[in-house]
């Protein structure tokens, strides 16, 4: 089965995608991780992605993302099931994504959109902390470290990313509303959208999503 998890920055989409992958034993397309891995390759595409991400600091354009995702799909296949998170992020990418999946003989089945208010998004992002050593991510509201200010994994002092400063968060929310929210409406028209209340506990949201998947699997096709 093919699932997509959508949501604004700080909605918890990454956390829920990882929980789904662990529960279902599916492959996981975490776009940022795949792009970073591609940027390390000494290939024409790898060098191009590295230049865009690390030298110019811009989003990877749709045509290059298509190449990256297609390469990833060719490598892992679709038999095991996939949870997508971070791609597609706009209407054009969605159209490309569906075409790529069709060529593999599958289609997206459910798209989970974590609905979170503007106020909560800002609060969550401002409360996010990152370990500079092992990159493990925390949130002082929803997933705090055991020892305040320090990583549970390697004991390094946690930091607040520049991206999580309130003014930057506001810009990221604006970008989401302009770029990704139209995709939410397209998915809704396709009959794939599952709106999920993202302001509950991590476990409550996960159980809600799993319940919807079980209901979908049990429904006559």
| pLDDT tens profile 184-213 | 999 999 999 999 999 999 999 999 999 999
Listed in sequence order, the residues at least 6 apart from 146 whose beta carbon sits closer than 8 Å to its beta carbon are 152
pTM: 0.84
- Mention the CATH class of domain 2-116+182-218: alpha beta
Reported as a single tens digit per residue, the pLDDT across 101-154 is 999 999 999 999 999 999 999 888 889 899 999 988 898 988 899 999 999 999
Task: Let me know: does 17 contact 2? Beta carbons within 8 Å.
Answer: no
Q: What is the pLDDT of residue 54?
A: 58
Helix (H, G, I), strand (E, B) or coil at 202: helix
The reported pLDDT for the residue numbered 40 is 80
**Alpha carbon distances (Å) from 57 to 30, 39, 60, 94:** 19, 13, 9, 23
pLDDT at 100: 95
**Treating both helix axes as pointing N-terminal to C-terminal, what angle do 166-179 and 118-126 enclose, rounded to 10 degrees?**
130
- The yes-or-no verdict on residue 57 having pLDDT over 80 is no
Tokens of 64: 């290059």
How many angstroms separate the Cα of 220 from the Cα of each of 49, 85, 102, 106, 188? 43, 27, 22, 18, 21
Q: Kindly list the domain boundaries of the chain, sorted by start residue.
A: 2-116+182-218
Please name which of 28, 187, 3 lies closest in space to residue 93, comparing C-alpha atoms. 187
On the question of pLDDT at 33 being above 90, the answer is no
Residue 56 clears pLDDT 70, i.e. is over it: no
The token pair that represents 36 in the structure block: 């970073």
Per-residue model confidence (pLDDT) at position 42? 81
Mean pLDDT, the chain, rounded, equals 90
């Amino acid at each position: 089965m093919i699932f997509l998890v959508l949501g604004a920055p700080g909605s918890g989409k990454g956390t829920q995608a990882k929980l789904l992958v662990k529960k279902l034993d599916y492959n996981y397309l975490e776009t940022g991780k795949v792009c970073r891995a591609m940027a390390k390759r000494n290939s024409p595409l790898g060098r191009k992605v590295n230049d865009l991400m690390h030298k110019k600091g811009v989003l990877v354009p749709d045509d290059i993302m298509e190449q990256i995702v297609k390469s990833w799909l060719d490598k892992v296949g679709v038999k095991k099931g996939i949870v997508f998170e971070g791609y597609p992020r706009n209407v054009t990418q969605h159209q490309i994504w569906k075409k790529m999946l069709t060529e593999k003989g599958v289609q997206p089945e459910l798209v989970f959109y974590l609905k979170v208010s503007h106020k909560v998004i800002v609060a969550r992002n401002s409360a996010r902390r990152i370990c500079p050593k092992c990159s493990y991510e925390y949130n002082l509201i929803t997933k705090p470290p055991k020892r305040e200010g320090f990583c549970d994994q390697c004991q390094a002092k946690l930091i607040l990313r520049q991206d999580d400063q309130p003014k930057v968060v506001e810009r990221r929310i604006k970008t989401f509303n302009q770029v990704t929210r139209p995709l939410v409406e397209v998915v809704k028209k396709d009959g794939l959208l599952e709106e999920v209340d993202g302001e509950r506990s991590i476990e409550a949201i996960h159980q809600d999503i799993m319940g919807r998947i079980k209901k979908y699997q049990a429904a006559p096709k």
